[in-house]
Structures are given as structure tokens and as C-alpha cells.
């Protein structure tokens, strides 16, 4: 049976006990990346904290089904309906087709996503796969009187709702109304300033690359419709948890709720999990700012991607987090010390199941306290300090790492192996690796292969990885 689990619900603005629609099961939807550029480490912070939520729920005994979309059409350069399509802008920038851009950045995204220890979502669906579903939802919204056609586009009519700003307090509602009024690029087709586009046939950008036939003419979907449709396609008419970054709350999630509940005629999603931003000294990290710091770049600079995960897990997901290389260097030192301590544990001996349960309960309770990952890490240190035998400690570390995903045991094993390597052999291997790199640079592949084979004969296997050449004794 699944255990009690609580976290902050942005809809009710309270930490609430999670009660799923179906006992023991969780349906979860995550807004995926807009694939016109690399995902920066800020985006990846959001996905690390969502991964921690998935794994914490799993640790508490739930079976989680997670769906993620890929935004490959419709997201304009402003989150409101103004500006150019981000995908088209990316394609123009790189002189490629929109689909080439989408494929390239989707692959890059999932490489970084997995490198930081995230579990792949159960379903990944690009928006361009679901055009018939979008058209169907828009047709129903038109039939029910929640949408209207103007100037060639289809708009959602927000005045039909009693409460459009569902996430906001009354003060915030006023601020938002002022903000929306001040929007400089006014669309004269809209009946209300908060109305949003469901389907575009008329855009200022006539060279829109991806277009589909629809009952309203050839065009393309608005951004918000994709998440409602993709979620319902895979998770049904009622959803347990919807995740995103805080910037998604308005207008994206507000609009998702408006159209979904109008379409369905009943409540849609009960729990909304929003994580806060990663900032650098210049402010919020943003893809549109140009040069982006990615997980791959961190790896090229020699950081283990799990050090970045550790950095994220040490702070609470609802607080903004400031990134700097100084802090990352400190985190790396702490991570390395942690690995060293785990590597010193001796696996032999009997595991005390009673002690293990006690710590597992504490760990689960910390996570159930609004996903308090830093407290969960403190409990990991408590285990290492505790008066327990090594086998018990190791077994608890292994269990905690199903949530933390810091590869504590794997890295510790590697450290012990490295420590047992004869320093003379290590020196020789590193020299040979350098020689091989030179040979490869000079396109002398025969020498490069000969070096690899010679090392293999000595029981040393070398592998070319994205983090550089790795070697191990076989
Ligand atoms: P995007 O690819 O721009 O649609 O963003 C992907 C995810 O990253 C969304 O859930 C955003 O809310 C989130 N996000 C955007 N900027 C940041 C940031 N600076 N820090 C953390 N998450 C972010
Ligand atoms: Zn979304």
C-alpha cells in the first residue's frame, strides 16, 4: 500500500496530502521542452526536481505514469500570442528545416536529461503528432460556445469563465489584469485581452513552415492546446499531477485549465507542481538570451553531470536557486567526499532490517514534507555517521539512491577500483591514451587502433565517451 505523501499544490496554495484518483496510481503530465534551442541548466533543474517527485512517489509505494510533450510547433516568442514561432526562428537561425531543428534539439535535450540521472518519461509525444486531436478539441470548444473565429484565427473566449485566473490571489489577479492590459502588441481580433489563440490561420509571419488543413483553413495550433490534448490522450479525462516551472503558471497553465475544463465540462487536474527558477548573476536563465549553459557544456568543462543534480537536490524546489561555478566547485568537492565515504564501507555482513526501516521511514517522511530533498540528503549523512554496521549502511544508501539517483554505489565502486590500480600502470595508460589522441588527430587510425589493442592485451579497455576517454581494467 502506498504511504502518505504531501506537497504544495499551486492551485490551492497549500501543502496538501496527495490523494490520487485511483489508489496507489499516479497520472502525471509534464510540460516538455520547446525544441528550438538547447535546454539550459535552468530547464534541467525543473526536470531534475520533477524526477525527484516521480521517484519520491515511487518510494512511497505509488506507481507513476508520466507523460511529456515536445513543443515543436506553436510556441511564439512571447508566451502570449505575439511574436514569431520559436521553432521557425530557430530554423532560420541555423538554416535548417523546422523538423531538423526539432529532431536535433530533442535528441540533445534527452541526452542531458538522462545524463543528470533522470528516468525517461513513460510517454513522450511531439505536438506535431496530435493535430487531429487539437482540431477535435477546438471544434468542441466552438460548439459549446467557448471559442470564436475572428480575423481567420480561432480564439478561446475567457469571458465565458467565472474564474479565469485560477492560480492567483485577488491582489495578483489585479496585477495580472494590469499586465495584460499593458501588452503592447494588441491583437484587435480578441474580444477580451486574456483571450488566446487555439488555431492560427492568419499570422504576421506568412512563411510559417508547418501548416495543416483544418475546418478553419490551413494553419497551425496555438501553444496551450497541445498540453491539454496530449495529457487527455494518454492519461484520460482526469489528471492527478501536472508539472512545470513557475513561468508556466501564467498564461500557459491558466489557459490549459480554461480550455480543458470547458471542453470536458468538469474539473481536470487536482494537483499542480511548480518548481522555481535557476538564476545566474544576470537574472533568470533563458533560452532566448542566446548563449546557453547546458549540462553538456558542464561535462565538457569536466564536471560530472551528477554533481549538478546534487547541487539542485540540496535546495528546495520552490525557492529560486542561484548558479555559479564557485558553488558548483564546492558541490563537486562535497560530492567527491560523499563518494569516498561510501567507498570506505565494507559490504560484508548482515543487514539490520530494523535499522534500515527506521531510516527509510525518515527519508520518506522528509520527501513527503513538500519534497524536502535537502533534508533527505541530511538523513543520508546521518546514516553514514550512525552507529550501524557497514552492510546496513550500504543497503540504506542503495535504497536512498533510488530517489536521489546520484549513482553513489557505482561511483564508490569505481573509486575503489581506481585506488587499487598500480600507479605505474595508470601512468602508462594515460600516456598511451594521450599518444592515441595525437594519432587520431593526425588521422593515423592504424596507430590509434594499435594502441587500443595493445592496452587491451594488457587487460585495459578504453572507451571514447562524451566526457572524454575513459579506461578500466577488464
Ligand atoms: P521551455 O523549453 O522554454 O518550454 O522550458 C522548459 C521548462 O523549463 C518549462 O517547464 C519552464 O518552466 C522551465 N524553465 C524555463 N526557464 C527556467 C529557469 N531559468 N529555471 C528553471 N526552469 C526553467
Ligand atoms: Zn504545457
Residue nearest to atom 12 of ligand 1 (CA): 245
Question: Ligand 2: distance of its center to the CA of 209 in Å?
Answer: 22
Mean pLDDT, rounded, for 199-220: 81
Question: Ligand 2: distance of its center to the CA of 43 in Å?
Answer: 14
Nearest Cα to Cα of residue 57 among 17, 14, 116: 17
Cβ–ligand 1 contact at 278 (below 6 Å): yes
In which band, very low, low, confident or very high, does the pLDDT at 207 lie, cut at 50, 70 and 90?
Answer: low
- Residue 16's pLDDT is 98
Nearest Cα to Cα of residue 340 among 426, 402, 405, 416: 416
Q: What are phi and psi of 170, to 5 degrees?
A: -65, -35
Radius of gyration of the chain (CA): 25
Question: Ligand 2: distance of its center to the CA of 417 in Å?
Answer: 45
205 or 70: which leads in pLDDT: 70
Asked, for residue 346, whether it belongs to a domain, the answer is yes
pLDDT at 358 over 80: yes
Do residue 408 and residue 434 come from a single domain? no
Give the ligand at the shortest distance from the Cα of 289: 1
pLDDT at 63 over 70: yes
Q: Do the bridges between strand 196-200 and strand 220-221 make them parallel or antiparallel, or are there none, so unpaired?
A: antiparallel
Do residue 349 and residue 227 come from a single domain? no
- Residue 204's pLDDT is 55
Cis preceding-peptide flag for 281 (omega within 30 of 0): no
| Distance, CA of 256 to CA of 229 (rounded, Å) | 9
Residue nearest to atom 8 of ligand 1 (CA): 43
Cβ–ligand 1 contact at 34 (below 6 Å): yes
Do residue 412 and residue 454 come from a single domain? no
Nearest Cα to Cα of residue 238 among 197, 267, 199: 267
pTM of the predicted model, to two decimals? 0.88
> What is the sign, positive or negative, of the torsion defined by CA atoms of 166, 7, 120, 310?
positive
Do residue 46 and residue 190 come from a single domain? yes
Asked, for residue 15, whether it belongs to a domain, the answer is yes
Asked, for residue 112, whether it belongs to a domain, the answer is yes
Do residue 250 and residue 171 come from a single domain? yes
Give the CB-side neighbour count of residue 148, counting CA atoms within 13 A.
11
H helix intervals, 301-372? 305-313, 325-343, 353-368
Do residue 409 and residue 429 come from a single domain? no
Cβ–ligand 1 contact at 69 (below 6 Å): no
Per the structure, the complete domain to which residue 200 belongs is given by 6-280
First to last CA, the chain: 43
In which band, very low, low, confident or very high, does the pLDDT at 286 lie, cut at 50, 70 and 90?
Answer: confident
Domain count, the chain: 3
| Distance, CA of 396 to CA of 463 (rounded, Å) | 32
Closest ligand 1 atom, CA of 247? 12
Do residue 359 and residue 271 come from a single domain? no
In which band, very low, low, confident or very high, does the pLDDT at 467 lie, cut at 50, 70 and 90?
Answer: low
Amino acid at each position: 500500500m502506498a504511504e502518505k505523501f504531501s506537497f504544495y499544490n499551486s492551485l490551492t496554495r497549500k501543502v496538501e496530502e496527495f490523494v490520487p484518483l485511483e489508489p496507489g496510481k499516479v497520472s502525471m503530465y509534464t510540460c516538455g521542452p520547446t525544441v528550438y534551442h538547447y535546454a539550459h541548466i535552468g530547464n534541467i533543474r525543473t526536470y531534475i526536481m520533477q524526477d525527484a517527485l516521480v521517484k519520491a512517489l515511487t518510494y512511497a509505494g505509488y506507481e507513476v505514469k508520466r507523460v511529456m510533450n515536445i513543443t515543436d510547433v506553436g510556441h511564439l516568442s512571447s508566451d502570449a500570442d505575439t511574436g514569431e514561432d520559436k521553432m521557425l526562428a530557430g530554423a532560420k537561425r541555423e538554416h535548417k528545416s523546422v523538423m531538423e531543428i526539432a529532431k536535433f534539439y530533442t535528441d540533445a535535450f534527452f541526452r542531458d536529461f538522462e545524463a543528470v540521472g533522470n528516468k525517461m518519461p513513460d510517454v513522450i509525444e511531439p505536438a506535431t503528432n496530435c493535430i487531429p486531436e487539437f482540431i477535435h478539441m477546438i471544434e468542441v470548444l466552438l460548439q459549446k460556445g467557448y471559442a470564436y473565429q475572428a480575423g481567420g484565427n480561432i480564439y478561446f473566449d475567457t469571458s465565458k469563465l467565472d474564474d479565469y485566473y485560477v492560480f492567483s490571489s485577488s491582489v495578483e489577479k489585479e496585477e495580472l489584469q494590469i499586465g495584460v492590459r499593458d501588452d503592447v502588441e494588441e491583437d484587435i481580433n480578441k474580444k477580451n485581452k486574456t483571450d488566446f489563440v487555439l488555431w492560427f490561420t492568419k499570422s504576421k509571419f506568412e512563411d510559417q513552415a508547418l501548416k495543416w488543413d483544418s475546418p478553419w483553413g490551413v494553419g497551425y495550433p496555438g501553444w496551450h492546446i497541445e498540453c491539454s490534448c496530449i495529457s487527455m490522450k494518454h492519461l484520460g479525462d482526469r489528471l492527478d499531477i501536472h508539472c512545470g516551472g513557475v513561468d508556466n503558471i501564467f498564461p500557459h497553465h491558466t489557459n490549459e485549465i480554461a480550455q480543458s475544463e470547458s471542453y470536458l465540462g468538469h474539473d481536470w487536474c487536482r494537483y499542480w507542481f511548480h518548481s522555481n527558477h535557476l538564476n545566474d548573476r544576470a537574472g533568470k536563465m533563458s533560452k532566448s538570451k542566446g548563449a546557453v549553459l547546458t549540462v553538456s557544456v558542464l561535462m565538457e568543462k569536466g564536471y560530472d553531470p551528477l554533481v549538478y543534480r546534487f547541487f539542485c537536490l540540496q535546495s528546495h524546489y520552490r525557492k529560486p536557486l542561484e548558479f555559479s561555478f564557485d558553488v558548483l566547485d564546492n558541490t563537486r568537492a562535497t560530492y567527491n567526499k560523499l563518494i569516498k565515504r561510501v567507498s570506505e564501507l565494507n559490504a560484508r555482513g548482515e543487514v539490520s532490517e530494523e535499522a534500515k526501516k527506521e531510516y527509510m521511514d525518515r527519508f520518506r517522511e522528509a520527501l513527503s514534507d513538500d519534497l524536502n530533498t535537502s533534508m533527505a540528503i541530511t538523513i543520508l549523512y546521518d546514516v553514514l555517521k550512525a552507529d550501524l554496521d557497514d552492510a546496513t549502511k550500504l543497503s540504506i544508501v542503495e535504497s536512498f539512491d533510488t530517489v536521489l539517483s546520484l549513482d553513489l554505489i557505482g561511483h564508490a565502486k569505481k573509486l575503489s577500483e581506481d585506488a587499487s590500480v598500480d600507479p605505474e600502470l595508470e601512468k602508462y595508460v594515460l600516456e598511451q591514451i594521450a599518444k592515441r589522441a595525437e594519432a587520431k588527430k593526425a588521422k593515423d587510425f592504424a596507430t590509434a587502433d594499435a594502441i587500443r589493442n595493445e592496452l587491451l592485451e594488457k587487460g585495459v579497455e578504453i572507451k571514447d565517451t562524451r566526457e572524454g576517454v575513459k579506461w578500466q581494467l577488464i
